[in-house]
Amino acid sequence: MVCLMLSGIGRGWAQWDSVRVVEDVVGHWEMQLDELGESGEMEESEDVTEELLERVDAIQWNSKPNLNDLSYEAAVNNLQFSDYQYYQLQLYIEEYGQLYSLYEIPAIDGFSKSDMQLLAERAVVKPPPPNRPTFKQLLKEGKNVLWVRYGQVLERQAGYDTSRANHYDGSPAHVQFRYDYSIRNHFGFRIAGEKDAGEAFFRGEQKQGFDHYSGSLYVKNLRWLKCAVVGDYRLNFGQGLVLGSSMMSGRGGGVSAARRFGDGIRPVATTNESTLFRGGAVTLGNSNWSGSVFAGRITEDHSTAFGGAISHRRARFSIGLQLIGFGSFADTASWQQRWQSLFHPDRLNAGLSYRTVAGKALLFGEAAVDEKGHPALLQAALFPVSPVFRVAAMLRYYATGYQSPMGRGFRASSGDCGEFGTYLTGHLVLSRKVEADIFFDYYRLRWLSYRTDSPVPGMDAGISVNCNLSRKSSLTARYQWRNRPKNESEDMYMHRLDEQCRHRFRLQWNCAPISMLKTKTEVSMVFNKSSTDNRWRKGILMYQDLACNFPKPQLSLHLRIAYFDTDSYDERLYAYENDVYYAFTVGSYYYQGMRACLLLRYKVQRFSVWVRLSRTHYLDKNDVSSGLTHIDKPHKTELKLQCLYRW
């Protein structure tokens, strides 16, 4: 099959469609996905993947920003500009006039040739629009997107045996849908629903159909009205100590990942039961001032929330204030009692954030406090030492007991265990073809945390080297080291701390021999060693990806064959897997076995169909999972079907 495709004649599509967009974003945050998996948050929180999907979807389908008419929000959120770069771009346009070509970018202070190459894919240069479009013109530009997805485990699971006292009430089908209507970046409506496997559908306890609905109606970017939302939304302000639902910053993500880009209010329609705000929110302001207020219920929780944020921004300095209050209610509370709880908070969080450009350096941070006076502090600096070397340093402190239910700041742990740490990272351009990212993090947990029943110190370090062998081939090597004590697993009653040392190696080779063919080969290894048995436990993952795009007919194929072998669950390895549109899969590989995934997409004008079939076969087990999801066979097969229509 490979030989036939290599001998094919014709040019591929201009883009790799969603495959390339998703892989580029996931590759940048791959180390952070490992962190989430090892800390237990990957299994516990679905909003992590939902957050990444929303941002990838925005990058994939929104029109490219115009550098001659670039807003601050689009610069920092979509193009990942630093404040210094945005300031220098506006200064250049003010002094020399509009840009005529992307080739002018390296002449602007703060930009390099590699930045120009990246902007060539994500932005355009054209004259700004002469005037604002009329309401009739906007209505003609409305876009609709509707997709429906069906998924199912093909093997029979124990929960569908009706002879059992405890069994599922519904079918094994997992059904989701989403509808979006938008007019440019000014108006939109979206709604989504989900029915989990095993749940009833339009009968029994789910007579309303889907067990989860989510949606929002929003208006954006109309003069002084920045954003107004009714329905479901997320909030990202400051550095996330008080209001932050994003996972797009963290350890191992490089210099650009050290800073959180607060994009304020963001309307959503989630396809899983994640935690978000449900109510109303509005942001008013201009280029210098902005203010936001919000109120509503926190989904998947018995609490309400209200608050606001205000910010003032100049070319080289900005400051923001965030405040949120939480009220709680009982399961049997009436709508009137739930409404009253909104104005009788029993928890509060307040934060003050800032950023300033000092020369070429960027200083930013946030200070926060809860209702009991427990503080949290984050202070960081980004500095370009030279055109080929950039560094970032961050100091963080979380007092023991500090709680922020809707915050997700930069830290190594979760919960209210308290933390003090120093994080250093750097980006180095070794040559025209070789770049490297390094990071070092030393921290101390001040109280009990996940799998650690005592205050302990921790140390993490890593390096990632990317080499562009040619225009069609690249090689990436990553190494991560971690030293952090954990509880012993042998003693059930008394958890003694065991020194844990972890080494992880990853080698990835990407190659595109022709425009319609792309391959990816990866080998990952992990080695764990504890101080008690002084024995190395290992894990290995090897996989081969093959992606093909045929121009006529518009058919794409993605195939993966993987082999994995780990000594225990603690040596599990994570790897991103291509999935259907608006679905995100990070495979967890542990024990011994093989896995194969096949993804097909066929497109006819505005209609697209995806088919995904994946199967995991274990070589050292005779069954899979336990409880209601138990399968009495050594393999598990999953099928996904999705249809999408745009008009």
CA separation for the pair 118, 99 (Å, rounded) = 17
Residue for token digits 């990853």?
A: 506
% of the chain at pLDDT higher than 90 = 41
* Averaged pLDDT, 546-574: 91
**pLDDT category of residue 548 using cuts at 50, 70 and 90:** very high
- Is the pLDDT at 84 greater than 70, yes or no? yes
Q: Which of 356, 331, 326 is nearest to 341 (CA)?
A: 326
CA separation for the pair 72, 90 (Å, rounded) = 10
Query: Judging by beta carbons within 10 Å of its beta carbon (0-12, 13-18, 19+), is residue 434 exposed, middle or buried?
Result: middle
Domain boundaries, the chain: 41-131
234-238, 244-248, 521-525: which is most confident? 521-525
Mean pLDDT (the chain) is 84
- Is the pLDDT at 581 greater than 80, yes or no? yes
Tell me which of 566 and 275 has the higher pLDDT: 566
Structure tokens at 62: 């929104």
Q: Are 575 and 543 in contact (CB under 8 A)?
A: yes
Helix, strand, coil percent content, the chain, rounded in steps of 5:
15, 50, 35
End-to-end CA distance of the chain: 35
What backbone torsions phi and psi does residue 356 show, to the nearest 5 degrees? -150, 145
Structure tokens at 483: 């030293």
Other Cβ atoms within 10 Å of 378 Cβ, number: 24
Residue 104 DSSP label: G
Other Cβ atoms within 10 Å of 195 Cβ, number: 22
CA separation for the pair 287, 169 (Å, rounded) = 54
What is the model's pLDDT at position 505? 95
Tell me which of 552 and 613 has the higher pLDDT: 613
Beta bridge partners of 328: 303
What is the model's pLDDT at position 471? 83
**pLDDT category of residue 131 using cuts at 50, 70 and 90:** low
What is the model's pLDDT at position 574? 87
What is the model's pLDDT at position 54? 63
Q: Which of 135, 162, 121, 107 is nearest to 21 (CA)?
A: 121
pLDDT by residue (tens digit) across 185-197? 789 999 999 999 9
What is the model's pLDDT at position 365? 94
Dihedral over alpha carbons 237, 238, 241, 243 (to 10 degrees): -10
Q: Which amino acid is at 479?
A: Y
Residue 332 DSSP label: T
pTM: 0.85
| Fold of the domain built from segment(s) 41-131 | DNA polymerase; domain 1 (1.10.150)
Comparing 252-261, 532-541, 620-629, the range with the smallest average pLDDT is: 252-261
pLDDT by residue (tens digit) across 433-474? 899 999 999 999 988 887 788 888 999 999 999 999 988 899
Alpha helices in 64-112 (DSSP H): 72-77, 83-96
CA separation for the pair 352, 317 (Å, rounded) = 14
CA distances (Å), 574 to each of 53, 349, 446, in order? 18, 35, 29
CA distances (Å), 420 to each of 253, 366, 395, 404, in order? 20, 15, 8, 16
Structure tokens at 244: 């932050």
What is the model's pLDDT at position 3? 45
What is the model's pLDDT at position 4? 39
